[in-house]
């Protein structure tokens, strides 16, 4: 028979030796023997049972104890001894660990223990003393909350015994490791806390972190080399921005193993908060002597959430959690989607924190190429740059979209469709605001400005040129203000971060200011040229403000404009509405005006294949945007004739507000 049967029947035999025929134990014990061995016991006398009957049962119980065999029970007992030695447990503490593991895993052992406790003639400490062959006082000493067994996290005290008769428990992950036929404590650790898979990303993919990445690398390297306790790094940001992936890349960069803690139980289910905390404690103690290991704890808010009625009694002790953060012997990387959900007391104990954002345009293109090489979704090399520029979602979402496209054989069209759906879902079912897509490349000869744009671009193009510059571009709609800003970004080799007033202004007090600050911070992190469209809504004259929040919003913009270290551009159609304080915040104020006579000809040729009408001589209030709009209309109508095009351009001009006279093209 198996080793677990040996241990169970040995305990039954010892119970039989310690109780008489009139005890409750004597009434239950024959049933346990029959349950465990299927051997028929001497029939209990109908009247008061006597010593003769009970001696037969005792003799049978001793006879049925098999020789210690193999099987899972032997593996479990051996692993308990190995693990106990690693934690420095005494023989009594190792015996208690074995007892609890047997109870959790083997039905026969659980059946006997539960039945014995239900008789009310024994207690758990008494049973443990018999199992461990020691005094009950030693058992109680070993089970103290401050004892090595409990503080190790191996055995957990249970507040409720709704399902168990004993007040102790083991995590499922630990139990499965104890049942594994492994060669030593190193293999046991690997079973409990396996190393995370190799990262798919590269260190360069996180260049948007800037100096944050270098600092975290140095901090982890020194913490491991010098065995510094209490080192915690927090990575926070929206889902899918690569927090876990960066943790893997960071570990690889410094030559360390990254081991995830408390992700799930061995059945794939969600572990309780208590189980996650216990696993963290076990990992710190099991791996605390190693100088090549970093722990990863995802979803930190689940363990260290702030005041929340849903945490209930399962929330860990704040004092205990603080002590763990301050003394953990292994560096830990924590992740969370939102720091607002975390208790400030725990955030204060983070050694360093970094905000994770979706990658910038240059990095996105590189990531898209690598993801396409991995998935083979059928995206051509010519489509990848366009897709990477259009979709700024996190790599995890792009990877999912490519898998869907590969499964459905949908190519780049399906990838875009899936990512658009993901963006719509993230916005609560609202479509994302449209992006600018110029019909023709930027053409300097279509810009009517009061400043030499070519000179500005030439001066700023060198890599050592000043970067703390700002622009206010004003003029009628469609004159090319935003298009030139994006053109300037290409010259500077910078990605573009474009924000409209609707992206930033919120109905909630204080949230607009947070959105403004977040936009400037995001531009700094990505090294992006920041464009504010409709800047008059964000920088309205404070003298006309009717609410305090309007003043606060303008103050926030002005403060960030003053100290932002990178180029940014504000565009407006209503410069007269801007606050006077903006005057000194802009390095350049450039006026974009309607097209001049010669420019009308260039604009016509850029958009239409038809010959330029002879009468195209008297321009008034037309912009490059008007030509692009009419070109789209003509394609929709299938019209190519010059007179039809001229009529539509005239309608565009006449529709403008404040037209002083009939508008058209003189002949």
pLDDT tens readout for residues 56-74? 999 999 998 877 667 888 8
Query: What one-character-per-residue DSSP string does 124-170 give?
Result: HHHHHHHHHTS-HHHHHHHTSTTSHHHHTTSSEE-S--SS-SSSEE-
**Which residue has better confidence, 433 or 35?**
35
If you compute the radius of gyration of the chain from its CA atoms, what whole number of angstroms results?
A: 37
Write out the two tokens for 126.
């008494």
pLDDT for 262 beyond 90: no
Q: How far apart are CA 608 and CA 601, in angstroms?
A: 10
Tokens at 409, concatenated: 């054989």
Percent of the chain at pLDDT exceeding 70 = 89
pLDDT band at 187 (very low <50, low <70, confident <90, very high): confident
pLDDT of residue 617: 52
Q: Which residue has the higher pLDDT, 397 or 228?
A: 228
So what's the pLDDT on residue 658? 57
> In this model, does residue 666 exceed pLDDT 50?
no
**Residue whose tokens read 């609560």:** 428
Q: What integer is the mean pLDDT of 584-594? A: 92
**Three-state DSSP state, 519:** helix
Other CB atoms within 10 A of residue 553 CB: 25
pLDDT for the residue numbered 268? 47
Which parts of 133-259 fold into alpha helices (H)? 136-142, 148-151, 172-178, 185-192, 211-226, 243-253
Higher pLDDT: 223 or 433? It is: 223
Q: Which of 174-183, 250-259, 309-318, 657-666 has the highest mean pLDDT?
A: 250-259
pLDDT band at residue 488 under the 50/70/90 scheme: very high
- Look at 364 and 446; give whichever has higher pLDDT: 446
Confidence of residue 361 (pLDDT cuts 50, 70, 90): low
Q: Which whole number is the average pLDDT over 410-416?
A: 88
| Residue 159: φ, ψ to 5° | -75, -30
Residue-level pLDDT at 201: 85
Q: Which of 285-289, 351-355, 403-407, 436-440 has the lowest mean pLDDT?
A: 436-440
Q: Is the pLDDT of residue 265 over 50?
A: no
N-to-C CA span, the chain: 110
Q: Which helix (H) or strand (E) holds 425?
A: helix 411-426
* 52: pLDDT strictly greater than 70: yes
Mean pLDDT check: name the lowest of 87-91, 190-194, 458-462: 190-194
Q: Using pLDDT thresholds of 50, 70 and 90, give the confidence band for residue 150.
A: confident
More confident call, 330 vs 166: 330
Specify the pLDDT at position 272.
Answer: 66
Q: How far apart are CA 529 and CA 457, in angstroms?
A: 14
Rounded mean pLDDT of the chain? 83
Distance CA 422, CA 590 (A): 38
Across the range 520-541, mean pLDDT stands at 85
Rounded Cα distance, 232 and 332, in Å:
5
Q: Is pLDDT above 70 for 415?
A: yes
């Amino acid at each position: 028979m198996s080793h677990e049967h040996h241990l169970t029947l040995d305990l039954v035999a010892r119970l039989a030796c310690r109780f008489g025929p009139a005890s409750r134990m004597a009434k239950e014990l024959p049933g346990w023997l029959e349950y465990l061995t299927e051997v028929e016991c001497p029939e209990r006398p109908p009247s008061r049972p006597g010593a003769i009957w009970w001696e037969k049962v005792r003799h049978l119980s001793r006879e049925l104890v098999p020789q210690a065999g193999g099987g899972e029970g032997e593996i479990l007992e051996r692993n308990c001894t190995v693990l106990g030695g690693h934690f420095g447990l005494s023989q009594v503490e190792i015996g208690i660990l074995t007892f609890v593991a047997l109870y959790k895993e083997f039905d026969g052992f659980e059946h006997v223990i539960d039945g014995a406790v239900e008789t009310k003639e024994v207690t758990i400490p008494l049973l443990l003393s018999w199992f461990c062959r020691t005094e009950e006082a030693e058992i109680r000493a070993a089970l103290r909350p401050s004892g090595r067994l409990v503080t190790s996290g191996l055995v957990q005290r249970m507040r409720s015994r709704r399902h168990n008769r004993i007040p102790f428990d083991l995590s499922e992950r630990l139990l499965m490791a104890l049942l594994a036929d492994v060669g030593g404590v190193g293999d046991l650790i690997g079973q409990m806390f396996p190393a995370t898979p190799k990262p798919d990303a590269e260190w360069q993919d996180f260049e948007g972190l800037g100096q944050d990445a270098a600092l975290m690398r140095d901090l982890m390297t020194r913490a491991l080399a010098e065995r510094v306790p209490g080192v915690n790094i927090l990575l926070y940001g929206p889902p899918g921005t690569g927090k876990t992936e960066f943790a893997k890349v960071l570990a690889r960069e410094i030559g360390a193993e990254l081991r995830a803690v408390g992700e799930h139980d061995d059945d794939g289910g969600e572990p309780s908060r208590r189980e996650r905390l216990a696993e963290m404690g076990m990992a710190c103690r099991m791996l605390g002597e190693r100088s090549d290991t970093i722990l990863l704890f995802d979803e930190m808010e689940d363990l260290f959430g702030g005041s929340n009625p849903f945490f209930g009694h399962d929330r860990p002790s704040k004092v205990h959690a603080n002590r763990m953060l301050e003394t953990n012997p292994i560096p830990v990387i924590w992740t969370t989607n939102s720091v607002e959900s975390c208790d400030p007391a725990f955030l204060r104990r983070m050694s360093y924190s970094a905000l994770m954002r979706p990658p910038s345009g240059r990095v996105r293109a590189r990531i898209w190429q690598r993801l396409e090489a991995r998935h083979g979704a059928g995206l051509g090399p010519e489509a990848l740059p366009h897709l990477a520029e259009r979709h700024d979602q996190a790599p995890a979402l792009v990877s999912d979209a490519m898998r869907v496209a590969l499964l459905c054989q949908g190519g780049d069209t399906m990838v875009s469709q899936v990512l658009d759906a993901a963006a719509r879902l993230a916005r609560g079912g609202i479509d994302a605001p449209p992006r600018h897509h110029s019909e023709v490349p930027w053409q300097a000869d279509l810009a009517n400005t009061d400043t030499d744009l070519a000179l500005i671009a030439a001066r700023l193009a060198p890599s050592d040129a000043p970067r703390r510059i700002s622009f206010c571009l004003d003029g009628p709609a469609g004159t090319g203000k935003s298009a030139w800003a994006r053109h300037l970004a290409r010259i500077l080799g910078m990605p573009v971060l474009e924000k409209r007033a609707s992206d930033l202004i919120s109905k909630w007090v204080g949230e607009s200011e947070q959105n403004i600050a977040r936009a400037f911070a995001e531009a700094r992190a990505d090294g992006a040229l920041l464009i504010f469209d409709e800047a008059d809504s964000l920088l309205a004259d404070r003298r006309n403000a009717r609410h305090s929040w309007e003043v606060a919003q303008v103050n926030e913009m002005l403060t960030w404009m003053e100290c932002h270290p990178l180029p940014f551009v504000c565009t407006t159609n209503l410069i007269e509405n801007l606050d006077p304080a903006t005057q000194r915040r802009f390095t350049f104020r450039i006026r974009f005006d309607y097209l001049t006579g010669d420019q009308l000809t260039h604009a016509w040729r850029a958009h239409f294949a038809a010959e330029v009408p002879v009468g195209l001589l008297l321009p008034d209030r037309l912009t490059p945007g008007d030509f692009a709009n009419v070109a789209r209309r003509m394609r929709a109508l299938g019209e190519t004739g010059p007179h039809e095009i001229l009529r539509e351009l005239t309608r565009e001009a006449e529709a403008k507000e404040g037209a002083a006279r009939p508008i058209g093209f003189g002949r």
